[in-house]
Structure 1
Amino acid sequence: MKYHYQEKIYASTLYIVPTPIGNLNDITQRALTVLSHVDLVAAEDTRYTGLLLKHFSIKNKLFMLHVHNEQQKTKLLVEKLQDGKSIALVSNAGTPLINDPGYYLVRCCREINIRVIPLPGACAAITALSASGLPSNRFCYEGFLPSKTKARRDILRNLAYESRTLIFYESPHRLIYSLHDMIKEWGSKRYIVLARELTKSWESLYGASIEKLLEWVLEDKNRYKGEIVLIVKGYVKKVDANILDSSTLRTLILLQQELPLKIASKLTAKIHGITKNTLYKYVLNQQKDDK
């Protein structure tokens, strides 16, 4: 692998620049270089970004771009880019566009072939997922759940059979309601991890069934203060004997009389074109039932 160390700031280019989600040491050297040398920094909140730039002794022009003015202000920013200006897009924390403003601006730039350069960096969803202990090869990011109960439950109901690991952002004042609704739509036993105030000195991660997690947070309101990410185990289909036809079961029984269960399951799976885990779980469930 070849590494490139020199950062050249290009004209007529939009840079997407992640910023720390708590620990200022998480900002990259490349991000600092871009923020120092672009012509303009488009920020979700100039107060937050102003403090960040001041901390790193960076002086640059700031432009407010938030969810309420993005469509209105995008035209002006695009004109500046077309005139040869370089612009860095930042949010208050984390990677821009991930539940933050910027989508409309980036889409407009892409449509008229203005160069967009994304920088890697902090993202609360990915940080929480990496430490959750849940499968990370396939996941589904859902952002914030709706504030209204019906809309929230409708979305949870639609996700009831989603097999990928689920990622949600949640606010402290809605967490309890969301956990109650998850229990109503998914049952109380689904495993969930609450990651709070990531990268800060008081960060915490706690994993349990939804029912146990709800009990845990209700014991101490400090356990759900601050920025929250929820990582939820995806739906796991229960082994159903009905999906195994009589021919498959007969083969499994005959092989099991002569071979260990794992080998018998593996061979039966190959013969009938089904997964060995399905067969193995079926036999284990049968053994439990016999006891």
Structure 2
Amino acid sequence: MNRQVKEKTGTLANHGAGTLYVVATPIGNLQDITLRALEVLRSVDHVVAEDTRHTRKLLSAHQIRVPLLSCHAHTSAEGLSRIVSLLKKGAQVALVTDAGTPGISDPGVALIQETLRHDLQVIPIPGPCAAIAALIVSGLDSQPFAFLGFPPSRGAHRTQFFVKYANLSMTRVLYESPRRLVRTLEDILDQWGDLRVAVARELTKVHEEVFRGTVSQALDVYREGTRGEVTLVVEGAPVASNGEVLQDASWKHALEAYLDHGDSVKNAVEKVQKIYRVRRRDAYQAALHLSRRKNEEPGEGGFS
């Protein structure tokens, strides 16, 4: 007999048709699984997993025995339909990914969309997410931010990716594999500039590491390679004092934006030189002028 999972309100998740529970699982440390996630996993009729072998280890660690179904990047439309058919018949189904939250750079999004297309209920069971974990420890602005997922691995699509998001003024969060980390940092430096970045590696695991610095500094650190999945958090494109993103603006506008963001004269000049072809002497003199003008301006509510 199909079992329905009770919510904390004490009401059944639905009546009649089944429910798809989107269950977040640990990104490294098994202790990060929530009590609610365990309750759902113990109560459903089926668990749909990206890699059943990986998920079986997680379930075994918590003495959970439940039939496993597979849903990965190569799952056919027929495969999705079979899972939806179970839901229509009243089955309670949990969707998990290998690590983190299903649907975030994860093939499970196809099942979520197909389930909703049939007007069936989808309920989130929140928990770990590498993108959010990296963002909150990055030291960069967390609001607003844009999650960009994995950059395309090669070709024109990859080039278009970095060009498309070059002028986002909000913090950008990306996933990347360790073998492509250096190449991605090089592309960011080339297309976005030598911005501040956090490189979060092996989050919640024994060898967790978060590097904070500029893109060029990160390249110096990781040039020889690294291990473990990586989350990159990159500051937004510079914005001038009038609020406009510096798209085709002059190097003087770029200088002003960096100084407005709190960079020192030295750091502002170095950043501008990496993006624009300008002599250091000219950039330095302009930065000193802008800095003096900024310091001479009266503060809000202050005395003039």
TM-score of the aligned structures, taking structure 2 as reference length: 0.75
How far, CA to CA, are the matches of 1:190 and 1:168 in structure 2?
A: 14
How far, CA to CA, are the matches of 1:6 and 1:215 in structure 2?
A: 55
CA change 1:5–1:29 in 2 (3 A) is: farther
- 1:194 pairs, out of 194, 199, 219, with 199
Alpha-carbon deviation of 1:161?
A: 1.1
Give the equivalent residue in structure 2 for 1:97. 103
Aligned length: 244
Give the equivalent residue in structure 1 for 2:118. 112
Show the 5 A alignment for 1:14-53: 14-53=20-59
Greater C-alpha radius of gyration? 1
Give the equivalent residue in structure 2 for 1:185. 191
How far, CA to CA, are the matches of 1:70 and 1:194 in structure 2?
A: 35
How far, CA to CA, are the matches of 2:163 and 2:114 in structure 1?
A: 34
- Deviation track 1:242-263 (CA, whole Å, cap 9, x = no partner) reads xxxxxxxxxxxxxxxxxxxxxx
2:60 maps to 1:75: no
- Deviation track 1:186-219 (CA, whole Å, cap 9, x = no partner) reads 22x211110000000110001111111100112x
2:154 maps to 1:148: yes
Q: Secondary structure at the match of 1:174?
A: helix
Q: Secondary structure at the match of 1:285?
A: helix
Give the equivalent residue in structure 2 for 1:258. none
One-letter code of the match for 2:143? N
Give the equivalent residue in structure 2 for 1:271. none
Alpha-carbon deviation of 1:137?
A: 1.3
2:71 maps to 1:65: yes
Moved segments of 4+, more than 3 Å: 3-11
> Structure 2: 5+ residue runs without aligned partners?
1-6, 243-286, 296-304
For the Cα contact (< 8 Å) 1:172–1:225, is it kept in 2?
yes
Alpha-carbon deviation of 1:90?
A: 0.5
**How large is the RMSD of aligned CA atoms in angstroms?**
2.4
How far, CA to CA, are the matches of 1:56 and 1:149 in structure 2?
A: 43
How far, CA to CA, are the matches of 2:291 and 2:206 in structure 1?
A: 49
Percent of paired sites with the same residue: 40
Q: Secondary structure at the match of 2:169?
A: coil
How far, CA to CA, are the matches of 1:201 and 1:286 in structure 2?
A: 44
Bigger helix fraction: 1
Q: Secondary structure at the match of 1:173?
A: helix
One-letter code of the match for 2:231? V
TM-score of the aligned structures, taking structure 1 as reference length: 0.78
Q: Secondary structure at the match of 2:95?
A: strand
